[in-house]
């Protein structure tokens, strides 16, 4: 690990990024900032980090807000620097376990982080259309914005409805398992492959392991991630 991580940073920052990012332009942009602007962006960034960490707090019982912020910094820092795999999730899990959080809440919370985070992003276009309507910008930008918002909110409700249905209903979970199994088996045959994953068992494992967290903390977690996304929108605007 001590050898591979520096090599990965060299690949990312020396070989890959210079093809798309002009480091000189980045340096000049930083040099053009005034001290008050640097202070303002630092404060807003710290607020964004703190608010984004609240999703971990909502999903993992007994995790403090400061440690939630730390977990978010680890997740986003490694995820943005080391591609080709969810290394950041594994590192966050090790750190959270090191803070004394039991295996089950740590694993469930980190597993649900990605799901809830994506659902929160799907809700953002609808909020954007609402802001455009309130500020009078809907007439000029309403066409594409409304289409994107409608598509996103349809996917949001479908995904949320499926998760809630799996968690609350044995019958629906069984039906989704059977239907998913038939689709996967058909697809594997079309690809010429033998055998297929047990979709029904996976759905039931999801419900057994994560269903309780969703029932007790799902709405709070979704609210936290939407708030975090809105805060970062404010940071980008500033």
Which 8-state DSSP code applies to residue 14? I
pLDDT above 70 for 4? no
pLDDT above 50 for 2? no
Average pLDDT over residues 59-76: 91
Which is more confidently placed, 192 or 56?
56
Tell me the per-residue pLDDT of 136-177, one tens digit each, with 9 for 90 and over: 777 776 677 778 888 888 888 888 888 777 777 778 778 878
Which 8-state DSSP code applies to residue 16? I
Which residues in 56-78 are b (16+ Cβ under 10 Å) and which e? bbbbbbebeeebbbbbbebbeeb
- In sequence order, which residues have a C-beta less than 8 Å from that of residue 48 and are 6 or more positions away? 228, 231, 232, 235
Under the phi-then-psi rule, with left for phi > 0, alpha for psi from -120 to 50, and beta for the rest, what region is 192?
Answer: left
So what's the pLDDT on residue 31? 92
pLDDT above 60 for 35? yes
Please classify residue 218 by burial: count the beta carbons closer than 10 Å to its beta carbon, then call 0-12 exposed, 13-18 middle and 19+ buried: buried
Q: What is the pTM of this model?
A: 0.72
So what's the pLDDT on residue 57? 93
- The pLDDT mean for the chain works out to 83
- In sequence order, which residues have a C-beta less than 8 Å from that of residue 64 and are 6 or more positions away? 57
CB 105 within 8 A of CB 61: yes
Average pLDDT over residues 115-137: 83
Which residue's entry shows tokens 């000189």? 24
């Amino acid at each position: 690990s001590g050898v591979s991580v520096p090599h990965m940073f060299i690949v990312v920052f020396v070989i890959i990024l210079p093809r798309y990012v002009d480091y000189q332009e980045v340096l000049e942009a930083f040099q053009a900032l005034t001290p008050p602007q640097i202070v303002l962006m630092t404060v807003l960034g710290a607020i964004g980090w703190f608010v984004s960490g609240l999703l971990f707090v909502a999903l993992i019982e007994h995790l403090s807000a400061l440690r939630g912020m730390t977990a978010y910094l680890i997740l986003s820092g490694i995820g943005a620097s080391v591609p080709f795999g969810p290394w950041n999730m594994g590192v966050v899990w090790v750190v959270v376990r090191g803070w004394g959080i039991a295996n089950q809440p740590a694993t469930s919370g980190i597993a649900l982080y990605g799901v809830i985070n994506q659902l929160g992003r799907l809700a953002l276009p609808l909020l954007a259309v609402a802001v455009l309507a309130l500020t009078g910008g809907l007439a000029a930008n309403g066409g594409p914005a409304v289409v994107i918002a409608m598509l996103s909110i349809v996917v949001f409700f479908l995904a949320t409805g499926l998760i809630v249905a799996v968690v609350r209903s044995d019958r629906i979970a069984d039906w989704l398992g059977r239907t998913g199994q038939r689709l996967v088996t058909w697809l594997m045959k079309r690809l010429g492959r033998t055998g297929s994953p047990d979709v029904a068992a996976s759905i039931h494992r999801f419900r057994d392991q994560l269903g309780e967290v969703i029932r007790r903390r799902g709405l709070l977690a979704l609210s936290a991630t939407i708030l975090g996304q809105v805060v970062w929108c404010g940071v980008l605007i500033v």
